Amino acid sequence: MERIDLKNIEEILGIQPPWHISSVEFDAHRHIANIYIESKDKKKLFGFIENNKNNDFEKHAGQWIYMPLGNYKCVIHAETPAPGSDNITLTSLNTPSYLGNPSRNYSNYLLQQVALASISGVPESLTCSQFQISSELYSQIKDDINKAPAQTQSLVYLPTESDPIWARVLKDQIHVRTNLLPLKLLLSKLKLAAAKSNDEEELVALASKLRQFCIANISQLDDEIEQLCGINNEKARRQAAAKKQKQRLVLPALKNPVWIDLLTGKLSLNSQSVPLNLLISRQRIVFLRGQDSATRVGAIETLREYVKRHHRTLKPELVLINRAMAINEKTKVRLPNPDHTIWQQILTNDETVPSDNIAYKLLIAKLRAQVKSTQDPVIKLEAARSIRNFMQQNQKALKRELNAVVTQTNAS
C-alpha cells in the first residue's frame, strides 16, 4: 500500500497555513478518518490568539466533524484554547472552516451547510445523510444557531474561507450584483490583483480580504450574501430576509454592558432621532449621579424600554447596538462594571493591583489626584471608568493586572 501523501489531503480538505496535517488515522470499521492538525506558527494559534510564554489560555484538545472524505466521516483534531462559551461566537466563526467552537464537535463548515440546508427547505434526513451526521447533532446545530447573538446569526450563512465561491467571484466566473460603492471598489481592486497573480497563496489572501469585508459589513449585504450562498428561490429568500429582520430587532438584556457604554458615553449611536438623543442625555445624568444600583438600573431600563417601543423607527441604532455587542463578545476578560468597588480600591491602595506598567501607574497617579481633590461621586465613577477602559484596551500588556482584578472580583 502506498504511503499517504498528507499534502494531497491538505489540498483536498482546504487546510491552509499555518495549519498542517501531522497524522491521519483511518477507522475502517466505523468509516471515520481522524485528521490530526498542528499550527506551524508557534506565535499564533488561530492567527489572532497569541501563543507565547505570557499566554494564560489553557489548551484544549478539540475535535470537529468536517466535510466527508469519500465514504468516510472526516473528524479534525487540534489543540485550541479552552472553550469559553457553549454557543456560536464571533471568535469561533473566525477560525478556519475545519475548526469550530472548542465546546462543540461540529466544524464551521458543517455549521454553515446545515444552516443553508435548513433555510433552503432541504429535509433534515437528506442533510444528515449527505454529511453523515446524526439527527441529534443536526438539532444541536439548529438550537445553537437560534441561541446565538443576532449579529452572529447572520454570519452563520456566510460561505467559509475555503469555499470556492470566493475564487470564482475574483475570477469573474460569478458576478455579484451590488449597489454598495465600497464593495464595488474593493471587488474591482481584488479582481485586478487576482488577474495578475498565479500564486495560489496570494489568491487565498485576496479571497480572505473579500470575506473579511463581508464580515465587517454583514448588516448591509443581505442581497449579496444571498447571491454568494446560492439562495435563489423566492421562498428561501423570504425566509432568509425574515430571519435577518427578526435578528436586528433583538434587544440586549437589561444587564448587558452595552447599555452602560451608552449611558457613560463610551458608545455613541450618532442617531438622527432627537427624542432618543434627549432621552440618552437625561438618563446619562440620572445614571452618573445615581447614589445606588436601583437608580442606575432604572436609568438603563427607561432607555431600553424606549428603544423597545420604537424599534421599527430605530433600525440603524439597533444595528449599531448589535455591532457593539459583537465587539464586546471578543473581549477575552470580562471586567466588572465601573461601579464595582474594586475600582475604588485600586484608587486608594497600591497593593490592590500592583503593577510595573509605567503607563498604568501614571494613569492611576493622575486619577488619584483628581479624586483626592473632590468627593464628587461622578468624578469617582469617571475615574473608575477610565481605569476599566485602559485595562480593556491594553489587555496584552496588563495580563497580570487583569488576572488580579478578576480574581479579587470573584472572591468578593
∠ CA 217-223-228 to the nearest 5 degrees? 85
Cis peptide before 18 (omega within 30 of 0): yes
Is residue 238 a part of any domain in this protein?
Answer: yes
Tell me the pLDDT tens digit for each residue of 52-76: 444 444 677 889 999 998 889 999 9
Query: C-alpha grid cell for residue 344?
Result: 475604588
Is residue 334 a part of any domain in this protein?
Answer: no
Q: Do 96 and 108 touch, CB atoms closer than 8 A?
A: yes
Is residue 293 a part of any domain in this protein?
Answer: yes
Q: Do 166 and 159 touch, CB atoms closer than 8 A?
A: yes
pTM given for the model: 0.55
Strands of 19-27's sheet, edge to edge? 19-27, 32-39, 73-81, 59-65
Q: Which domain holds residue 360?
A: 341-411
- Is the domain of 130 the same as that of 14? yes
User: Which of these three, 267, 297, 329, is where a domain ends?
Assistant: 329
- Is the domain of 138 the same as that of 192? no
SS3 23: strand
pLDDT (0 to 100) of residue 174: 87
pLDDT (0 to 100) of residue 373: 78
Tell me the pLDDT tens digit for each residue of 253-269: 888 888 988 898 888 88
pLDDT (0 to 100) of residue 313: 84
How many domains does the structure of the chain reveal?
A: 4
DSSP state of 49: S
Q: Which DSSP string do the residues of 229-265 spell out, in sequence order?
A: HT--SHHHHHHHHHHHHHHHTPPPPTT-HHHHHHHTT
Find all residues with CB under 8 Å of 47, minimum gap 6, and list them. 18, 41
pLDDT (0 to 100) of residue 150: 66
* Parts of the chain with a pLDDT under 70: 1-3, 41-58, 82-86, 150-151, 231-249, 327-334, 410-412
Q: Give the integer Cα–Cα distance in Å for 73 and 395.
A: 40
User: Which of these three, 151, 183, 215, is where a domain ends?
Assistant: 151
